[in-house]
Structure 1
Amino acid sequence: MKRKPVLLFAFPAIMLLILAAERTATFLLGTYPSSPAMWRIWLELRPLATMFWQQVDLYLGGSIVLDAAMLATASILCWMACRARASAAFFLANHVALLFAGLMIAVSSHSETASTIASFTAPRGLQFSLMVDFTLKNSLVLALGAAACAYCHIAFLSEARQRTEARAIRILALQRDL
């Protein structure tokens, strides 16, 4: 199986597009505050990305240009990682994107009003609760991320098997020649 960089880059690209779409919607909402369509788009994207952008804006000053530069740099790095032949950096790009998606969903769930709340008891008797909002949108993002990670594992293992077979053939040829 030959790995396809476009498929390896798909999930990180989706996550970067969600972040870019939320920034764009926020910018356009500031420009057209009376547009119901802008409010609908922004309200759909807000739970996935707003908590992340609030933290970024807190530390970096809230510039849309800086946010766009950050997203462009991240997308270039992910694309280069997915195209690298001699490394397994595509593993890192996809798995970081999945962890990031899970973190965005978990963080945004605390700001939602209709969340699933489950209480757990720690071994020492401390109580804490876990709130995760498993809406269709969040579940779809996590399912796509799990599929992207599965593809990474399949691609990596098939490449490793091909390298092992090639090495075994070379060793047999060397033994035969000796």
Structure 2
Amino acid sequence: MKRKPLLLFAFPFLVLAILAGERMATFLLGAYPASPTTWWIWLELRPLSTMLWQQVDVYLGGSMAVDAAILAAASIVCWVACHTRRSAFFFLANHVALILAGLMIAVGSHSETASTIAAFTSPSGLPYSLAVDFTLKNSLVLILGTMACAYCHIAFLTEARERSVRAIRILALQRDL
């Protein structure tokens, strides 16, 4: 199985596209507040990303230009990581994207430790609970992220197996010579 960089880049691109789409819809809402299409796009993307961007905007001063620069830089880094030969940076790109998607979902669904949905006990004996909203959209993003990470593992292990077989053949040829 040969590694396909475009498939490796698909999930990080999806996460970055969701973030960029929400930022663009927010910008367009400021310019065209009477547009129902813009409101619809913004309301669809908001639960996945707005809460995360609100946290980011606190630290960045609310600049859309800085948000766009961050998303562009992250896209370039992920693209290069997925196309780099002889490295496992595509692992990092996909896994960071999955962690970011999980964080966006947790923050966007107002996960709290005061809910009674799922109760846990810490090692010190202190009880706490956590609620996460697994809507169809959230579940789909997490399933796609898990599939992307599984593809990364399969691609990496296949390449490692091919390298080891090649190394054994080279050692056998050196021994025979």
Question: Normalising by the residue count of structure 1, what TM-score does the alignment of the two structures yield?
Answer: 0.93
Point out where structure 1 has 5 or more consecutive residues left out of the alignment: none
Task: Tell whether the 8 Å contact from 1:116 to 1:132 is kept in structure 2 after alignment.
Answer: no
**Do structure 1's residue 2 and structure 2's residue 11 form an aligned pair?**
no
Structure 2 counterparts to residues 1-178 of structure 1, below 5 A: 1-110=1-110, 117-177=117-177
- The Cα shift of 1:123 comes to 4.1
CA RMSD of the aligned region, Å?
A: 1.7
3-state SS of paired residue (2:117):
strand
CA deviation profile, 1:64-100 (whole Å, cap 9, x unmatched): 1111111111000000000000210000000000010
Take 2:108 and 2:128, find their aligned partners in 1: how far apart are those partners?
A: 18
- The Cα shift of 1:111 comes to 7.0
Point out where structure 2 has 5 or more consecutive residues left out of the alignment: none
Q: How many residues align?
A: 175
Take 2:51 and 2:122, find their aligned partners in 1: how far apart are those partners?
A: 27
Task: Tell whether the 8 Å contact from 1:117 to 1:130 is kept in structure 2 after alignment.
Answer: yes
Take 1:123 and 1:111, find their aligned partners in 2: how far apart are those partners?
A: 21
- The Cα shift of 1:40 comes to 1.9
Identity of counterpart residues, as a percentage? 69
- The Cα shift of 1:38 comes to 2.0
